């Protein structure tokens, strides 16, 4: 492999901008993603998918496919019904009464969304498989679709007749409804808003893919999958396909992004395993982009009814939320739990005394929803941050002022929220102040006023969002109380090899986050050695047997902490051994620069590498000590972590065309202690762009018959570099008290903060028209129509034909 | 099947290919050059970008038979025994990649730009990058890296 720039050796490493060790192989093309794995004799799968949103499967005729060259086999759902030991798993039955439809890897009786797989073809090449899939004849009896959430609630069309209703479950968090009612009864100001969280397509650049290789002797299988969750997948494949867990090795090779979409157990993974078992041949399936849009989970899909009660000064006295959540056609791995991840957060960073949340989750004839970057938390943050801006207008104060009047104070931590969470640490006003200073807020407002006074067509909007989130999933007992069927711990092992090199085994499974670099930094920092001497092993259940994988901004706060704690345990053992051989008391030894030295006798030392070699030879160990330097940690966090920050977006809005340009973005994030600020910034940048994309561009749009209209990247508008402004980032550091590293997590923060900041900016630009809300994405057509409607109502300022060519110059500075 | 003769990264390859075989599949599966990634197969994401006689093209929108007699350059041809290409170095330095799936395509567009008369303004760089989708980085590191090498 081509080597990349040598990393820092010696000296403090934690908190430095160490370049990523992952980069070399990715830059040269040597990294291997699933589709790059060449296994001789592998067969290729192609799926036949329903073109109907809801249809009875009358007949599946695969004979045409079987007659085609290169075709080895072809199966309908009925043909494979006996292959399954269980249905595709849903791991989060949020209530005991939750309705759960049967969900098999291939539909047998009914297809329930466009893209639902009904048959599979196995052939010797990808081309032959796809040709033959077209030759499978499926006879459908199409049924009416139901895509609109509120229409689904009427049960006029029931997606799964055996369930009798489209309502999957209702769930509430309403500690004291009487207090909420009283707050509204006596409120000086009320906000009553309805927000729609449109469906989004996660659109990782690497489509999904799976390759299952049966071992030539014996009955075991190696499953290579483009997944975020090799460990969970192994358990679920065992349960679904009926293969003993001991016969399954799951490997996530290089994985090209996930954003939650690869946090799942998919039909194709189970199918590939079952067909490899049945045919005794390696089997491979690689997703096409349109399949990725239709048959990989989508995100969001909620209608939020949000009410705030406030006193005359704008102090919020109650928050009431009524949520309708779109499950899609089936319950995937954690589909039902997504609204719950937001349920506790609708009071935001504000000191709110009364709270009520109710959620109704419904089935529709659309692609199943599930976790997408932020998963429940962007939705909650959007609702409260949008509503706070509306409240500011009601009260007649600036958006930053309404927030200051309601923030939980920096001295209030740990803070027990009305929803029952204990926020670990925070300084919300500090992040707001920092962000306003960073953005040059007063000058921006002055420029906005100047443009409004001039009356041109290019108006400025400035939007703020003071977000927080709950991540570091999660204390297992809390997950149990929410009916989640797994724990939230993470595992790590650290071993110092006889030569002094260190191997770290982690249960996290990175797909772009740079865990190899960051985990090596954590270990190197604690041992006082170079990160180059630390190897990080992950994403292979044969080499890293324990883990709960990567999602929910949990990897550093839970997995990184496990690595740190395992390292400390190894050091403890090494210290005992070194003390024994140096004939001093353990407490007289200090570890610095990878060497134990006797306090007060600096010439009496023993390097860690020497200790490791002694542990390996085991010639002279203290009585009762076992050989080798190795320790493990299975860390179950005592609480979530609560990152926070304030983001500020500046948009330029063309009042003639409705076009919104994001011209500047300023983000102040506090994710606790930073292991590698370069990686933190990268996460913030990417996250902000995804959040801004929900606000301005992206929508998984369906027609009333349930056809996905944005099933290609021509139609689904993932932003390019040309749409993205320079993003200025800065951070405050408020360590989390819940883990030894003081870290919180940052993978989702940008996405959570961005959408409300951008829409608040758009609405701010539209406020002279009397417009209080705009649906996402704020497309030119939507914005133009809102302006036209306002003009017709006569609630607009006098517009002039003059063109204002002034643009805001975005600058990129980084400070920490 | 048609016989084609292609110069890929300076090596001559003579192969018989199906007329309908995509250039991306030819490079990846017939020649084993899997550094070129396939992200959408409809010419939008740019992950499969390679150089055809020096010009950046989508290898998912070309047939292998169309490049008969041409020179193709892929990401595998960039780094040499002396180390990474300056553009690879720059992306590494500026954290211009996370999952790395889009990186090979972006590099090839950047190589095309590096071969042109420069320097390129930041706006130009962003416009040229608009043929590529990166879902991870938000583009900041990529724009910074390209600006350093091909910018003013």
Asked whether residue A805 carries a pLDDT value surpassing 60, the answer given is no
**CB-based contact, B129 to chain A, within 8 Å:** yes
Q: Do B35 and A30 touch (CB under 8 A)?
A: yes
Contact by Cβ (8 Å): A259, A690: yes
User: Which tokens belong to A174?
Assistant: 């309403």
Q: Give the model's confidence band at B60: pLDDT under 50 very low, under 70 low, under 90 confident, else very high.
A: very high
Distance CA B46, CA B54 (A): 16
Q: Which of residues 292-311 of A touch B (CB under 8 A)?
A: none
Distance CA A793, CA B52 (A): 57
**CB-based contact, A811 to chain B, within 8 Å:** no
Distance CA B101, CA B132 (A): 11
Q: Which residues of A touch B89 (CB under 8 A)?
A: 5
Asked whether residue B11 carries a pLDDT value surpassing 70, the answer given is yes
Q: Give the model's confidence band at A797: pLDDT under 50 very low, under 70 low, under 90 confident, else very high.
A: low
Distance CA A400, CA A388 (A): 10
Which of A29, A678, A723 shows the shortest C-beta gap to B104? A29
Q: Kindly report the backbone phi and psi dihedral angles of residue A399, in degrees, each rounded to the nearest multiple of 5, phi listed first.
A: -60, -35
Q: Which residues of B touch A686 (CB under 8 A)?
A: 98, 135-138
Chain centroid to CA A331: 18
Mutation target vs A (from B98, B121, B122; most A CBs, 10 A cutoff): B98
Per-residue pLDDT, averaged over A424-428, amounts to 97
Q: Give the model's confidence band at B8: pLDDT under 50 very low, under 70 low, under 90 confident, else very high.
A: very high
Compute the nearest-CA separation of A583 from chain B (Å): 47
Three-state SS at A430 = helix
Q: Do A513 and B98 touch (CB under 8 A)?
A: yes
Q: Do B137 and A3 touch (CB under 8 A)?
A: no
Q: Give the model's confidence band at A11: pLDDT under 50 very low, under 70 low, under 90 confident, else very high.
A: low
Distance CA A547, CA A544 (A): 7
- Segments making up each domain of chain B, as ranges: 2-77, 86-150
Three-state SS at A405 = helix
Q: Which residues of A touch B131 (CB under 8 A)?
A: 720
**CB-based contact, B104 to chain A, within 8 Å:** yes
Q: What is the pLDDT of residue A722?
A: 97
Q: Which residues of B touch A32 (CB under 8 A)?
A: 34
Cis peptide before A587 (omega within 30 of 0): no
Distance CA A498, CA A617 (A): 9
Nearest to A508 by CA among A673, A635, A415, A649: A635
Size of chain B in residues: 152
Residues 6+ apart with CB under 8 A from A735: A425, A672, A673, A742, A743
Mutation target vs B (from A1, A23, A717, A749; most B CBs, 10 A cutoff): A23
Distance CA A392, CA A401 (A): 8
Q: Do A23 and B74 touch (CB under 8 A)?
A: no
Q: What is the pLDDT of residue A75?
A: 98
Q: Give the nearest chain A residue to B28 (CA atoms).
A: A36
Q: Give the nearest chain A residue to B40 (CA atoms).
A: A289
Q: Which of residues 10-39 of B touch A (CB under 8 A)?
A: 18, 20-21, 25, 28-29, 32-39
Nearest to B34 by CA among A628, A764, A28, A564: A28
Q: Give the model's confidence band at A602: pLDDT under 50 very low, under 70 low, under 90 confident, else very high.
A: confident
Three-state SS at A118 = strand
Distance CA A142, CA B21 (A): 36
Q: What is the pLDDT of residue A218?
A: 82
Q: Give the model's confidence band at A3: pLDDT under 50 very low, under 70 low, under 90 confident, else very high.
A: very low
Q: Which residues of B touch A512 (CB under 8 A)?
A: 98-100, 136
**CB-based contact, B145 to chain A, within 8 Å:** no
Nearest to A462 by CA among A644, A194, A647, A730: A647
Residue A3 burial class via C-beta count within 10 angstroms: exposed 0-12, middle 13-18, buried 19 and up: exposed
Asked whether residue A767 carries a pLDDT value surpassing 60, the answer given is yes
What pTM was estimated for this model as a whole?
0.96
Chain centroid to CA A415: 25
Q: Which residues of B touch A259 (CB under 8 A)?
A: 135
Q: Give the nearest chain A residue to B127 (CA atoms).
A: A722
**CB-based contact, B84 to chain A, within 8 Å:** yes
Q: Do A721 and B107 touch (CB under 8 A)?
A: no
Asked whether residue A491 carries a pLDDT value surpassing 70, the answer given is yes
Distance CA A763, CA A770 (A): 9
Asked whether residue A804 carries a pLDDT value surpassing 50, the answer given is no
Q: Please provide the distance, in angstroms rounded to a whole number, between the alpha carbons at the two ends of chain A.
A: 34
Q: Which of residues 194-253 of A touch B (CB under 8 A)?
A: 203-207
Residues 6+ apart with CB under 8 A from A745: A471, A472, A553, A554, A555, A556, A557, A641, A643, A671, A672
Q: Which of residues 23-52 of A touch B (CB under 8 A)?
A: 23-24, 26-33, 35-36, 38
How confident is the model over A429-477, as pLDDT tens digits?
999 999 999 999 999 999 999 999 999 999 999 999 999 999 999 999 9
ipTM reported for the complex surpasses 0.95:
yes
Which of B95, B107, B133 shows the shortest C-beta gap to A682? B95
pLDDT over 70 percentage in chain A: 96
Q: Which residues of A touch B60 (CB under 8 A)?
A: none
User: Which tokens belong to B113?
Assistant: 């730009």
Distance CA B72, CA B27 (A): 9
Compute the nearest-CA separation of B5 from chain A (Å): 23
The owner of tokens 């390097």 is A607
Nearest to A89 by CA among A78, A108, A103, A99: A103
Q: Give the nearest chain B residue to A38 (CA atoms).
A: B29
**CB-based contact, B141 to chain A, within 8 Å:** yes
Per-residue pLDDT, averaged over A124-129, amounts to 98
How many residue pairs from chains A and B have C-beta atoms closer than 8 A? 182
Q: Do B39 and A207 touch (CB under 8 A)?
A: yes
User: Which tokens belong to A221?
Assistant: 């299988």
**CB-based contact, A718 to chain B, within 8 Å:** yes
Compute the nearest-CA separation of A81 from chain B (Å): 32
Which of A19, A205, A682 shows the shortest C-beta gap to B45? A205
Mean pLDDT of chain A: 95
Distance CA A43, CA A126 (A): 8
Q: Give the nearest chain A residue to B136 (CA atoms).
A: A686
User: Which tokens belong to B9?
Assistant: 């990264």
Residues 6+ apart with CB under 8 A from B47: A205, B36, B37, B38, B39, B40, B101, B102, B104, B105, B132, B133
Distance CA A63, CA B120 (A): 58
> In whole angstroms, how far apart are CA A770 and each of A129, A686, A786, B63?
57, 33, 10, 55
Distance CA A57, CA A366 (A): 17
Helix (H), strand (E) at residue A566: helix A561-582
Structural domains of chain A ordered from first start: 34-143+207-255+262-295 (3.90.1170.50), 302-473+640-799 (3.30.365.10), 489-635 (3.30.365.10)
Asked whether residue A2 carries a pLDDT value surpassing 80, the answer given is no
Which of A28, A685, A713 shows the shortest C-beta gap to B133? A713
Q: Do A28 and B29 touch (CB under 8 A)?
A: no
DSSP assignment string, A781-811: HHHHHHHHHHHHHT-SPPP-S----------
Q: Do A29 and B35 touch (CB under 8 A)?
A: yes
Q: Which residues of A touch B20 (CB under 8 A)?
A: 127
DSSP assignment string, A245-298: GGGEEEE--B----TTTTSS--HHHHHHHHHHHHHTS-EEEE--HHHHHHHS-B
Q: Give the model's confidence band at A795: pLDDT under 50 very low, under 70 low, under 90 confident, else very high.
A: low
How confident is the model over A173-205, as pLDDT tens digits?
999 999 999 999 999 999 999 999 999 999 999
β-bridge pairing A595-598 and A601-607: antiparallel
Distance CA A705, CA A145 (A): 5
Question: Can B2-77 and B86-150 be said to share one CATH topology?
Answer: no
**CB-based contact, B125 to chain A, within 8 Å:** yes
User: Which tokens belong to A693?
Assistant: 């994309």
Q: Do A26 and B103 touch (CB under 8 A)?
A: yes
Q: Do B33 and A32 touch (CB under 8 A)?
A: no
**CB-based contact, A5 to chain B, within 8 Å:** yes
Q: Give the nearest chain B residue to A207 (CA atoms).
A: B39
Per-residue pLDDT, averaged over A349-369, amounts to 98
Q: What is the pLDDT of residue A217?
A: 84
Query: Which CATH number does B2-77 carry?
Result: 3.10.20.30
**CB-based contact, B136 to chain A, within 8 Å:** yes
Q: What is the pLDDT of residue A216?
A: 85
Q: Do B138 and A685 touch (CB under 8 A)?
A: yes
Q: Give the nearest chain A residue to B20 (CA atoms).
A: A127
What single-letter DSSP state applies at residue A243? -
Q: Which residues of B touch A26 (CB under 8 A)?
A: 97, 99-100, 103
Q: Do B98 and A289 touch (CB under 8 A)?
A: no
Three-state SS at A629 = strand
- Thinking of the domain B86-150, which architecture would CATH place it in? Orthogonal Bundle (1.10)
Q: Do B99 and A19 touch (CB under 8 A)?
A: no
How confident is the model over A79-98, as pLDDT tens digits?
999 999 999 999 999 999 99
Distance CA A764, CA A648 (A): 12
Helix (H), strand (E) at residue A646: strand A644-654
Distance CA A144, CA A55 (A): 8
Q: Give the nearest chain B residue to A713 (CA atoms).
A: B44
């Amino acid at each position: 492999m081509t080597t990349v720039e040598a990393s820092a050796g010696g000296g403090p490493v934690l908190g430095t901008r160490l370049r990523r060790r992952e980069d070399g192989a990715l830059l040269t093309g040597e990294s291997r993603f699933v589709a790059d794995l060449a296994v001789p004799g592998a067969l290729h799968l192609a799926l036949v998918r329903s073109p109907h949103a809801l249809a009875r499967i009358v007949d599946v005729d695969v004979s045409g496919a079987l007659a085609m060259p290169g075709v080895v086999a072809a199966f309908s759902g009925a043909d494979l019904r006996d292959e399954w030991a269980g249905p595709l798993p849903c791991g989060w039955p949020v209530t005991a009464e939750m309705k759960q439809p049967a969900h098999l890897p291939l539909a047998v009786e009914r297809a329930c969304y466009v893209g639902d797989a009904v048959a599979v073809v196995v052939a010797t090449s990808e081309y032959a498989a796809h040709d033959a899939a077209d030759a499978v004849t499926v006879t459908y009896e199409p049924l009416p679709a139901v895509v609109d959430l509120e229409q689904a609630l009427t049960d006029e069309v029931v997606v799964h007749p055996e369930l009798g209703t489209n309502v999957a479950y209702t769930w509430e968090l309403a500690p004291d409804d009487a207090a909420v009612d009283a707050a509204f009864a006596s409120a000086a100001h009320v906000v009553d808003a309805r927000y729609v969280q449109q469906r989004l397509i996660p659109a990782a650049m690497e489509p999904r893919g799976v390759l299952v290789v049966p071992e030539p002797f014996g009955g075991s299988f190696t499953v290579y999958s483009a997944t975020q969750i090799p460990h969970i997948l192994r358990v679920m494949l065992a349960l679904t396909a009926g293969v003993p867990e001991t016969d399954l090795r799951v490997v996530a090779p290089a994985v090209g992004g996930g954003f939650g979409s690869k946090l799942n157990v998919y039909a194709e993974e189970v199918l590939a395993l079952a067909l490899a078992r049945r045919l005794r041949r390696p089997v491979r399936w690689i997703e096409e982009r349109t399949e990725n849009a239709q048959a990989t989970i989508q995100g969001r899909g909620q209608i939020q009814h949000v009410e705030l009660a406030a006193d005359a000064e704008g102090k919020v006295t109650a928050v009431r939320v009524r949520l309708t959540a779109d499950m899609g056609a089936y319950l995937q791995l954690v589909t039902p739990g997504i609204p719950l991840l937001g349920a506790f957060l609708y009071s935001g960073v504000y000191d709110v005394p009364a709270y009520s949340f109710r959620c109704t989750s419904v089935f529709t004839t659309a692609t199943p929803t599930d976790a997408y970057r932020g998963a429940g938390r962007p939705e909650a943050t959007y609702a409260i941050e949008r509503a706070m801006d509306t409240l500011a207008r009601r009260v007649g104060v600036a958006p930053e002022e309404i927030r200051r009047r309601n923030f939980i104070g920096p001295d209030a931590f740990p803070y027990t929220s009305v929803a029952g969470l204990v926020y670990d640490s925070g300084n919300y006003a500090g992040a707001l102040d920092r962000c306003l200073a960073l953005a040059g807020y007063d000058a921006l407002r002055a420029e906005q006023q100047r443009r409004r006074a001039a009356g041109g067509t290019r108006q400025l909007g400035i939007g703020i969002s003071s977000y927080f989130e709950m991540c570091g999933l999660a204390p297992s007992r809390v997950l149990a109380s929410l009916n989640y069927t797994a724990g939230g711990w993470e595992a790590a092992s650290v071993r110092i090899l006889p030569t002094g090199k260190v191997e770290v085994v982690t249960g996290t499974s990175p797909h772009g986050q740079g865990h190899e670099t960051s985990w090596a930094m954590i270990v190197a920092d604690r041992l006082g050695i170079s990160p180059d001497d630390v190897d990080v092993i992950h994403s292979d259940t044969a080499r890293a047997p324990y883990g709960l994988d990567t999602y929910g901004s949990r990897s550093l706060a839970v997995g990184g902490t496990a690595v740190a704690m395992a390292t400390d345990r190894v050091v403890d053992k090494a210290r005992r051994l070194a003390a024994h051989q140096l004939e001093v008391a353990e407490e007289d030894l200090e570890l610095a620069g990878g060497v134990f030295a006797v306090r007060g006798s600096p010439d009496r030392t023993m390097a860690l590498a020497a200790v490791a070699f002694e542990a390996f030879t085991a010639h002279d160990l203290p009585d009762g000590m076992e050989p080798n330097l190795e320790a493990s940690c299975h860390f179950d966090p005592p609480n979530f972590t609560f990152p926070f920050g304030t983001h500020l977006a500046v948009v330029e809005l063309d009042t003639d065309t409705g076009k919104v340009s994001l011209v500047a973005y300023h983000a102040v994030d506090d994710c606790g202690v930073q292991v590698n600020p370069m990686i933190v910034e990268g996460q913030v940048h990417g996250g902000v762009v995804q959040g801004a994309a929900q606000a301005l561009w992206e929508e998984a749009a369906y027609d009333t018959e349930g056809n996905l209209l944005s099933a290609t990247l021509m139609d689904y508008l993932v932003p390019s570099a040309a749409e993205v402004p320079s993003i200025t980032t800065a951070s405050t550091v408020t360590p989390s008290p819940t883990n030894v590293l003081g870290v919180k997590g940052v993978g989702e923060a940008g996405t959570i903060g961005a959408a409300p900041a951008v829409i608040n900016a758009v609405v701010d630009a539209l406020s002279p028209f009397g417009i209080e809300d705009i649906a996402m994405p704020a497309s030119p057509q939507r914005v133009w129509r809102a302006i036209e409607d306002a003009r017709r109502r006569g609630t607009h300022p006098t517009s002039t034909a003059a063109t204002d060519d002034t643009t805001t110059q975005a600058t990129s500075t980084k400070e920490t | 099947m048609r016989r084609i003769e292609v110069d890929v990264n300076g090596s001559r390859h003579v192969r018989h290919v199906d007329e309908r075989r995509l250039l991306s599949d030819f490079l990846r599966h017939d020649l084993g050059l899997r550094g070129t990634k396939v992200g959408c197969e409809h010419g939008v994401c740019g992950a499969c970008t390679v150089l055809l006689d020096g010009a950046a093209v989508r290898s998912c929108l070309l047939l292998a038979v169309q490049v008969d007699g041409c020179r193709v350059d892929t990401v595998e041809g960039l780094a040499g025994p002396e180390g990474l290409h300056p553009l690879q170095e720059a992306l590494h330095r500026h954290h211009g990649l996370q999952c790395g799936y889009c990186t090979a395509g972006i590099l090839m567009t950047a190589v095309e730009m590096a071969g042109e008369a420069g320097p390129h303004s930041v706006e130009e760089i962003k416009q040229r990058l608009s043929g590529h989708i990166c879902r991870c980085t938000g583009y900041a590191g990529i724009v910074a890296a390209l600006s350093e090498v091909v910018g003013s």
